[in-house]
């Protein structure tokens, strides 16, 4: 019995030794805690989180190996890992009223991993802004067409807004933005677009704080294509307009421009609107006589194309007799011979109207007036590239 008891005890002792060995060889390794400590801000479950400057992931006693932040649709938010691997921050702002999940992985000096997860929801703003843009999505436009944005609220954080707008072109070309005041931002290349260029604009304004407490609520993609190259040159002294395609003159048309005292602007102007028929009343642009009445009121101006916000048009003219090519008779517009009602497709005005598209360039030279202001219409081409980028 004693022998049996000793044998039994000896057997248990041997078992305990083997078990400890197994723990040392496998169990302890499996349960070893990583020395790396991951921190995520904002804290899990946070509400009304700001869309910029709040989200940060860090680690002590280790390095981050992976950080994934996703919105409810599963889209990952791009971010940057610091050079030493101890912190991660998003590369762009977050959207408003959105719940994000964070999954962070880190390793300590011995390669042992640790993970941490978090979830938070961004703020819902009381005040928002959007942008009206031109040209329209899917349109084909002329080589002078900028991408122009007008914001519904004045912007006091222009860099944040610019960062949220991405423009890609095919073929690639440098595109830069320029602010006119605090509510308009135009983008263009150094020279007129190359015919056939495809332009894609991504507006990621949702969540951008454009001014204190005012956030963007717009997120969309706009694409447009540059059509054939048409640039027309009006000589206010010779009273002609040379219409050029790809640098070659395809037609020379007699014109009339601004009479003495109401000369036409000089400079590069972009067609921003086309109207087959429109009413033109001088009182709307400040042409009022001593009697307080408008100097002109023409209810049916045919083939009108807008060149400036202030009211300069290139249009059909049926009331100025033999002025075309002979003398200047307008209040600042460029007139081409036409018929009342614009029914004759063979008139110079009808032909030019049908050959033109929004975004085409009309250059006026040799007028006695000054050069048109860059923000008077889509006419930023009257600024040098250096001025534009500055």
Domain positions in the chain are: 37-121, 127-226, 230-389
Q: Give the full edge-to-edge strand order of the sheet including 219-226.
A: 140-141, 219-226, 198-204, 165-170
pLDDT at residue 22 greater than cutoff 50: no
Among 238, 264, 265, CA closest to 252: 238
| Residue 292: per-residue pLDDT | 78
Class of the domain covering 37-121: mainly beta
pLDDT at residue 16 greater than cutoff 70: no
309, 376 contact by CB (below 8 A): yes
Class of the domain covering 230-389: mainly beta
| Residue 156: per-residue pLDDT | 98
Distance (Å, whole) CA 365 – CA 377: 18
pLDDT at residue 19 greater than cutoff 60: no
Domains 37-121 and 127-226 are alike in CATH topology: yes
Average pLDDT on 21-27 reads: 42
Distance (Å, whole) CA 249 – CA 242: 6
Catalytic site positions: 315, 333
pLDDT at residue 28 greater than cutoff 70: no
pLDDT tens, residue by residue, 58-109 = 999 999 999 999 999 999 999 999 999 999 999 999 999 999 999 999 999 9
| Residue 121: per-residue pLDDT | 98
Q: Does domain 127-226 have CATH number 1.20.140.10?
A: no
For the entire predicted model, the pTM comes to: 0.86
Residue 313 three-state SS: strand
Distance (Å, whole) CA 70 – CA 99: 9
Q: Which residue has the higher pLDDT, 37 or 22?
A: 37
Distance (Å, whole) CA 278 – CA 304: 7
Residue 53 three-state SS: coil
| Residue 285: per-residue pLDDT | 75
């Amino acid at each position: 019995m004693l022998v049996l008891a000793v044998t039994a005890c000896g057997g248990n002792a041997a078992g305990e030794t083997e078990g400890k060995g197994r723990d040392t060889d496998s169990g302890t390794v499996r349960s070893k805690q990583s020395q790396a400590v991951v921190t995520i801000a904002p804290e899990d479950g946070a509400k009304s989180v700001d869309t910029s400057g709040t989200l940060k992931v860090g680690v002590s006693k280790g390095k981050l190996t992976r950080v994934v932040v996703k919105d409810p649709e599963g889209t990952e938010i791009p971010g940057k890992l610091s050079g030493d691997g101890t912190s991660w921050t998003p590369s762009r702002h977050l959207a408003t009223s959105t719940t994000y999940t964070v999954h962070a992985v880190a390793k300590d000096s011995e390669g042992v991993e640790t993970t941490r997860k978090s979830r938070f929801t961004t703020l819902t703003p009381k005040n928002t802004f959007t942008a009206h843009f031109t040209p329209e999505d899917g349109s084909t436009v002329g080589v002078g067409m900028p991408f122009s944005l007008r914001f519904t609220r004045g912007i006091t954080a222009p860099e944040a807004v610019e960062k949220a707008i991405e423009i890609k072109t095919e073929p690639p070309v440098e595109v830069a933005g320029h602010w006119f005041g605090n509510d308009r931002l135009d983008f263009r290349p150094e020279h007129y677009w190359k015919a056939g260029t495809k332009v894609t604009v991504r507006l990621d304004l949702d969540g951008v704080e454009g001014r204190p407490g005012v956030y963007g609520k717009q997120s969309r993609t706009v694409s447009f294509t540059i059509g054939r190259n048409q640039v027309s040159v009006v000589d206010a002294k010779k009273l002609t307009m040379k219409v050029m395609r790809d640098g070659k003159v395809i037609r020379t048309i007699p014109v009339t421009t601004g009479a003495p005292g109401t000369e036409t602007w000089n400079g590069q102007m972009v067609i921003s609107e086309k109207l087959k028929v429109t009413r033109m009343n001088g009182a709307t642009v400040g042409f009022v006589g001593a009697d307080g009445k408008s100097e002109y009121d023409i209810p049916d101006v045919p083939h009108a194309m807008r060149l400036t916000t202030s009211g300069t048009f290139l249009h059909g003219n049926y009331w100025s007799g033999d002025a075309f090519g002979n003398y200047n008779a307008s209040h600042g517009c460029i007139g081409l011979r036409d018929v009342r009602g614009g029914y004759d497709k063979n008139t110079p005005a009808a032909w030019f109207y049908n050959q033109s598209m929004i975004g085409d360039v009309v250059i006026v030279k040799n007028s006695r007036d000054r050069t048109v202001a860059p923000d008077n219409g889509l006419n930023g081409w009257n600024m040098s590239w250096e001025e534009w980028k500055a």
